[in-house]
Chain A
Amino acid sequence: MSAPLPPYGAPQHPTQPFSPSSPMRPPAQPPLHPQLQFANANANPALGRPGMPPPGAPMAFPRPPIPGQPAPAINQPPPGFPTQPGQPLARPPMAPSPVGIQPPRPPLPGPGPAAGAGTQPPMSPVSPVSPVSTQPPAQFQQPPQPQQQQHQPKRRMYPGEAATAYAQSASGPLPPPPGQEAFNPQQPGMAPVMQAPPAYQQFSNGPLPPSFHQQPGPAPGGAPPSYQNPLPHQQQAQGQGLPPQDAKYPNVPSAYASQTSLASVNDVAGQVANLSLGGVAAQVPTVSVFGASPYVQELEGAAGLPWIAAGSSASTTPTSHPHPSYKTCTLEAAPASQAILNKSKLPFALVVTPYRVPAEGEPPVPIINPEQIVRCRRCRTYINPWVQFVEQGTRWRCNLCYLTNEVPSFFDWDSETRTSRNRLDRPELTHSCVEFVAPQEYMVRPPQPCVFVFVIDVSFAAVASGMVATAARTILDSLDGMPNEDNRTKVAIVTVDSALHFYNLNSALSDPQMLVVGDLDDPFIPQPEDLLVNLSESRTQIEALLSRMGDMFRNTQQSQSALGGAVQVVFKMLQPIGGKIVVLQSSLPSVGPGALKAREDPKLLGTPKEVTLLNPASMFYKQIAVDCSRAQVSVDVWLFGSGYNDVATLSGLAKHTGGSTYYYPGFSATRPDDAIKFATEFSHFLTKPLGLEAVLRVRASRGIKMTSFHGNFFLRSTDLLALPNVNPDACYVIEMEIEETLQSGVACFQTAVLHTSSNGERRIRVVTLALPVTNQLGDLFAAADVKAVTTVLAKKAVERSLDYKLEDARDALVNKCADIFSAFKAQSGGGGASAGQLLIPSNLKLLPLLTLATLKNIAFRPGPQIPSDLRSSALALMYHYPLEMVIATLHPRLYALHVLPPQAGLPGSDGLLVLPPMMNLGSDRLERHGVYLLDNGREIFLYVSKLADPQLIQALFGVQGYDAVATGKSALPALQNDYSIRVQAIIGKIRQTRLTMFTTYPHFYVVKEDADPALRMLFMSHLIEDRIDSVWSYSQFLGHLREIVAK
């Protein structure tokens, strides 16, 4: 606060907490907003009471919803309040939670009203929601508002807390009790409202005494007790008499209770009563998974709205929630204690894809370069939309550790232009996903340049398959697209057979020189310089080498490969700077350090001993990966198997260094499809954004502890992941547990990725997620996100298969699914009508299907047919894939092409291509004359039935009749008819999505009903609702689950 005009500094008058900022407003603005005046007027009378929260303050922010539904009672310290003397901030758990858990559904209601408040007549009960949501941040710029908003949202959210804050400011730091007393005087007025507190108390304090359920409102008879804030959708579903808006703001009233005019009190009381109706759980319909085929279309649906209204955040903007693809939690409401989490059997984990590329139509992540990066002084949390401003906005309270920190003056005052600013316009307060440009303090050394070292296998197998030529060609073509914004990118090329070949690429040379190192026992760097060269300076030499590489080894007879030695030397080369090693390997490393044996043994497949083949054969690559990770070197492994590749061992290089593994079984560049697939993926890989020397740290609200992490990284400390490189594909799963009961109503999770972007800037990408806290088991079930749950369970199953055996992993999956059903049954009382059924809240109804899909995925499917390389690569991918890709892989999408809806294949109203509706994956769904497209994330199958309409075949393939259709890996001809164009557009869209999402360019297969039985079997193996080999069909699986649950 060194600025001459401390914007939020010493408030002149307790009643006008926000007035300091007013002077700074441009004079042109109306001096005082009516609201404000009103507020002050109101405030003054109240002033007289010492230690009271300045009543004016709350009034100052009248937002539409509030006046409308002033809920009275809540502000009085309800029972929960006094019980927490230990917490200086006296955050009444009840108050926040109700607010926090605002019903999300009608999107963004929260922000709206708040934003609108400034411009709308203050107290009039405005019908809040609808207008608001459309009124975006723009409104925030209005002069009077900023003041209000900083505090407002907060207040709403943590009424008790805010009140204390004010109490403190008025009479010095007070321990909670005084603050409490301060409230009391008001209480008498609120008498009518008194029923409300129990409701909140219930929420905060766990199981209620039965009496609490008997609130004035119609209490749901058998509904499990739960907290009062009904979820929006549920409420709609119930169609209660309440106007939806009211429903959304159940808690608001509470927040304002002490300050609201009593007129509305009665309304509020009614509302509160209504709200207490059923908890969330009661409102999520419980469904039986029996009897109906799973409604798979839900897999494609957009994620539901967050459970906590964005309006509860500091800035009240909808962007206060991250896009779920960046970060999502298996539970949309955090459990208050470990006991309830254990009871639910649900996993509690975050799924984070911090560096993902925004999808089509999504806004980019804001990049901000503040004078100073504002962080909590104790826990180092970055300031985010979920902090609270307290003490007239001069300080902010960390939402993770609850320490209050100074708000720096530049938040409100632009010292360059000498004008005031609205702090709520700052992206770090409006966006939960932002990227800071980090200053010097965040660097231990100058930012690293992008470094690519290509280690290319040039043994006979590699050359013969055409891998070398294709790779060289692709690198050559991608040189322009590689990250090189500041001309610092460095490149080296090493080729390997039984010796190591380095290339001197000094820009002064007319031709690159090859240097051969044959001593594999003690491989060394042949010369200290010029092997790793600047891409821009030595461009000619690099191009010359690459364009010749395809032919250079054409006549090689070497069948051996010394990959281990090569990686060792390259690691030494990169140790001082760090970078990326790209290993392209066709044959098994067979000489020198790290030599491997062809250990594939078909007799072991399908037996418990199979797991030995899935674990690394030697510690060599793991060890070197750990060294690499430490030196900020990442390794990406591209394997092209004609024979056994030992994916299990070599993928270890990528696993611990933040890299990826790509596997092309039976690659041959003579098949255009193979070559195109590899070239497209490799080119995308080389040109996609890259974060270097990164670390990812996870922080969570006090009481939450991270227990384990899954993904490709090296865990450097209990909450710090070392990622030599971070790329958009990388997904990390963080499992958590509750160490101490959560007292506050909102739990926040912040992940920060400190990295060097490819333009040489040090950046921090911060993603903050806020979840309401619940201590009702029923809510936890209703809050579970089935896709995230499946993803987490699949990733844990990968770990389990490697630690124990595949069968254990499968059993664990089935048991987990059954446990969840049992836990829900126990929670909902069990017995009675539900005895013979499998009941589950509708949000989890796809759990059995997805569990079954996981069991049938190539990574976990039992049986001796799957070679260990294929299995290893499937496991490695499953471990690394982001959520969307896991779901797409587990549950392939099946589309019927012979009955395309009119819009399918054409751009929709939002400009994005419309895909046909997803179909259930059962062979009984296939019609005898159908044509189907199946997309499993990595491959696309076009299935043509024998009786398919010849006209359709003509339109699609350009051939006469079914018999003329060629089967196998191929491409569809681009024909100029509407049907073909639409189908091509669908395929193109799928491929594009997969490429940007996970650097995967799916193969395209044409499958005919009666030709090529192997291919047909492959297609059929994706129909997971059928019985496949020894694994249940969907209905059998449900029967099996029922048996377990009934026990």
Chain B
Amino acid sequence: MALFGEAGLFLFAVIMAAVLLFAMVFFIIMFSDLELDYVNPIDLCSKLNQFVVPEMAAHAFLAILFLFSGSWIAFILNAPLVAYHVNKFINQKHVYDATEIFRTLPGHKRECFVKLAFYLLSFFYYLYRMILGLLNDS
């Protein structure tokens, strides 16, 4: 990213990672609410489904940004998740289905935790790269 330099790119990445992190926390909280019967599965699904595609898109956008800016390591780190998302999207498995939600809940939660961990790690990685970039710039 010649435009902003490496520091700018990773600053943006850090922010995105933080947003995605929050999205995952939100998902997990909603799932726990469902388990505790604070929310009805229909409401839960209609609420979460609004965020599924934006989350995937944001992540894919980030990965593409890395690709075009030549941050290969960052891109390779993100590629598997992008592939996973694309696959889910193509098979129409990305939508939460209110009729199946209780049956699939453990899977969903696990997925969210894994993604949460991934975003957290990448958050620190981006932060590190950002600092590195700032040091290089200066």
Q: Do A and B interact?
A: yes
What residues of B have a CB within 8 angstroms of the CB of A716 in the complex?
A: 40-41
Is A717 on the interface with B (CB-CB < 8 A)? yes
CA distance A717 to B41 in the complex (A): 7
B72-80, B97-105, B110-118 - interface stretch: B97-105
Task: For A627, give the chain B residue with the smallest CB separation.
Answer: B42
| Minimal beta-carbon separation of B47 from chain A (angstroms) | 14
What CA separation (Å) do A714 and B42 show in the bound complex? 10
Does A718 have its Cβ within 8 Å of any Cβ on chain B? yes
CB <8 Å contact, B35 and A718: yes
A627 CA to B42 CA in the complex, in Å? 8
Q: Which residue of A lies closest to B43 (CB)?
A: A630
Q: Does B137 contact A (CB under 8 A)?
A: no
Chain A: minimal CB distance from B35 (Å):
6
- Neighbouring B residues of A415 by C-beta, 8 Å: none
Given contacts A715-B41, A716-B41, contact A622 B35 (CB under 8 A): no
Given contacts A715-B99, A715-B102, A718-B102, contact A626 B35 (CB under 8 A): no
Chain A min CB distance to B108 (Å): 14
| In-complex Cβ contact of B98 among A626, A708, A709, A720 (8 A) | A626
Interface residues on A, range: 10 to 19
Asked if A718 contacts B99 (CB within 8 A), the reply is: no
A982 CB–B CB distance under 8 Å: no
A656 at the interface (CB under 8 A from B): yes
Inside 8 A of A626's CB, which chain B residues have their CB?
42, 98-99
Task: Encode contact with B along A675-717: 1 for CB under 8 Å, 0 otherwise.
Answer: 0000000000000000000000000000000001100001111
Q: Which residues of A contact B40 (CB under 8 A)?
A: 716-717
Q: B46: nearest residue on chain A (CB-CB)? A: A626
> Which A residues are in CB contact (< 8 Å) with B102?
708-709, 715, 718
Bound CA span A708–B40, Å: 17
Q: Are B37 and A717 in contact (CB under 8 A)?
A: yes
What 3 A-B pairs are tightest by C-beta distance, nearest first? Answer: A717-B37, A715-B102, A656-B99
Closest to A710 in B: B103
Q: Are A708 and B37 in contact (CB under 8 A)?
A: no
| CB closest residue in chain B, given A623 | B98
Interface residues in A596-647 (C-beta closer than 8 Å to B)? 622, 625-627, 630
> Roughly how many angstroms separate A627 CA and B45 CA in the complex, as a whole number?
12
Contacts of B103 in A (CB 8 A): 708
Q: In the bound complex, how far is the Cα of B47 from the Cα of A739, in angstroms?
A: 31
Contact A714 B37 (CB under 8 A): no
CB contacts (< 8 Å) of A627 on chain B: these are 42
A708 to B98, CA, bound (A): 15
Contacts A626-B42, A630-B42 given; does A714 touch B99 at CB 8 Å? yes
Within the complex, which residue of B37, B42, B97 is in contact with A718, where a contact is CB–CB below 8 Å?
B37
Most chain-A CB neighbours within 10 Å: which of B40, B41, B99, B101? B99
Chain B residues whose C-beta falls within 8 Å of the C-beta of A720 in the assembled complex:
37
A716 to B37, CA, bound (A): 9
Q: Give the complex CA separation of A718 and B41 in angstroms.
A: 10
Measured CA separation A708–B102 after assembly (Å): 8
For the complex, what is the distance from the CA of A720 to the CA of B37, rounded to whole Å? Answer: 10
How distant is B96 from chain A, measured CB to nearest CB, in Å?
12
Interface residues of A (CB under 8 A from B): 622, 625-627, 630, 656, 708-709, 714-718, 720
Q: Inside 8 A of B34's CB, which chain A residues have their CB?
A: 717
How far is B42's CA from A717's CA once the two chains are assembled, in angstroms? 10
Cα(A622)–Cα(B98), bound, Å:
10
> A626-B99, A717-B40, A720-B37 known; 16 other A-B pairs, CB under 8 Å?
A622-B97, A622-B99, A625-B99, A626-B42, A626-B98, A708-B102, A708-B103, A714-B98, A714-B99, A715-B41, A715-B99, A715-B101, A715-B102, A716-B40, A718-B37, A718-B102
Which chain A residue shows the least CB distance to B105?
A: A718
How many Å lie between the Cα of A708 and that of B100 in the bound state? 11
A-B contact pairs, 15 of them (CB 8 A): A622-B97, A622-B99, A625-B99, A626-B99, A627-B42, A708-B103, A709-B102, A715-B99, A716-B40, A716-B41, A717-B37, A717-B40, A717-B41, A718-B37, A718-B102
Residue of B nearest to A656 (CB): B99
Shortest Cβ distance from A805 into chain B, in angstroms?
Answer: 15
Residues of B within 8 A of A709 (CB): 102
Q: Which residues of A contact B98 (CB under 8 A)?
A: 626, 714
Docked CA distance A625–B99 (Å): 10
Nearest chain B CB to A597 CB, angstrom units: 17
- The answer for the CA separation of A973 and B48 in the assembled complex, in Å, is 63
Chain B residues lying within 8 Å of A715, measured Cβ to Cβ, are 41, 99, 101-102
Q: Which residues of B contact A714 (CB under 8 A)?
A: 98-99
Interface residues of B in 51-101 (CB under 8 A from A): 97-99, 101
Q: Which residue of B lies closest to A625 (CB)?
A: B99
B39 CB to nearest A CB, Å: 9
Q: B39 — nearest CB in chain A belongs to which residue?
A: A717
Most chain-B Cβ atoms within 10 A of its Cβ — which of A625, A627, A715?
A715
Q: Once bound together, how far apart are the Cα atoms of A765 and B11, in whole Å?
A: 61
For the complex formed, measure the closest distance between the CB of A608 and the CB atoms of chain B, giving whole angstroms: 16
The CA-CA distance from A625 to B42 in the complex, in Å, is 11
Query: Which residues does chain B contribute within 8 Å of A622, judged by CB atoms?
Result: 97, 99
Expressed in whole angstroms, the minimum distance between the Cβ of B49 and any Cβ of chain A is: 11
In the bound complex, CA of A708 to CA of B99 (Å): 12
**B41 proximity list for chain A (CB < 8 A):** 715-717
Tell me the smallest distance from the CB of A962 to a CB of chain B, in Å. Answer: 53
Distance A708 CA – B101 CA, assembled complex (angstroms): 11
Residues of A within 8 A of B101 (CB): 715
Bound-state CA distance A715–B100 (Å) is: 8
Q: Mark B9-35, 1 if CB is under 8 A from A, else 0.
A: 000000000000000000000000011
Whole-angstrom CA separation of A627 from B102 in the bound complex: 17
Residue in B closest to A713 when the chains form the complex, CB atoms: B99
When chains A and B are docked, how far (Å) is the Cα of A656 from the Cα of B98? 10
Closest to B99 in A: A656
Most B C-beta atoms less than 10 A away, residue of A622, A625, A626, A720: A626
Q: Which residue of A lies closest to B45 (CB)?
A: A626
Bound CA–CA A379/B66 (angstroms): 54
Nearest CB in chain A to that of B101: its residue: A715
Cβ of A739 to closest chain B Cβ, rounded Å: 14
Minimal beta-carbon separation of B107 from chain A (angstroms)? 12
CB distance from B70 to the nearest CB of A (A): 41
- Residue with the highest number of chain A CB atoms closer than 10 Å, among B34, B35, B41, B98: B98
Task: List residues of chain A with CB within 8 A of the CB of B37.
Answer: 717-718, 720
Least CB distance, A734 to chain B, in whole angstroms = 12
Compute how far the CA of A709 lies from the CA of B99 in the bound complex, rounded to whole angstroms.
11
A701 to chain B minimum Cβ distance, whole angstroms, is 20
Give, as a whole number of angstroms, the nearest-CB distance from B29 to chain A: 17
Min C-beta distance of B53 to chain A, whole Å: 15
Query: Nearest-CB distance from A944 to chain B (Å)?
Result: 47
- In angstroms, Cα B41 to Cα A709, docked, is 15
A72 to B119, CA, bound (A): 66
CB distance from B92 to the nearest CB of A (A): 8
Find chain B residues with CB under 8 A from A717 CB.
34, 37, 40-41
Which residues on A sit within 8 Å (CB–CB) of B35?
A: 718
Question: Chain B nearest CB: distance from A796 CB in Å?
Answer: 12
A771 to B98, CA, bound (A): 33
Q: How far is the CA of A630 from the CA of B44 in the complex (A)?
A: 13
CB-CB nearest in chain A for B106: A707
For the complex formed, measure the closest distance between the CB of B40 and the CB atoms of chain A, giving whole angstroms: 6
Among B35, B41, B97, B101, the most chain A Cβ lie within 10 Å of the Cβ of B41
Q: Which chain B residue lies CB-closest to A709? A: B102
- Name the A residues within 8 Å of B99 (CB-CB): 622, 625-626, 656, 714-715
Given the complex, which residues of B lie within 8 Å of A630, measured CB to CB?
42
- Give min CB distance, A933 to chain B, whole Å: 41
| A-chain residues with CB within 8 Å of residue B97 when the two chains form the complex | 622
Residue of B whose beta carbon sits closest to that of A717: B37
> Which of A622, A714, A717, A718 has the largest count of B CB atoms less than 10 A from its CB?
A717
Rounded to whole angstroms, the CA-CA distance of A717 and B37 in the bound complex is: 6
Residues of chain A within 8 A (CB-CB) of B42 are 626-627, 630
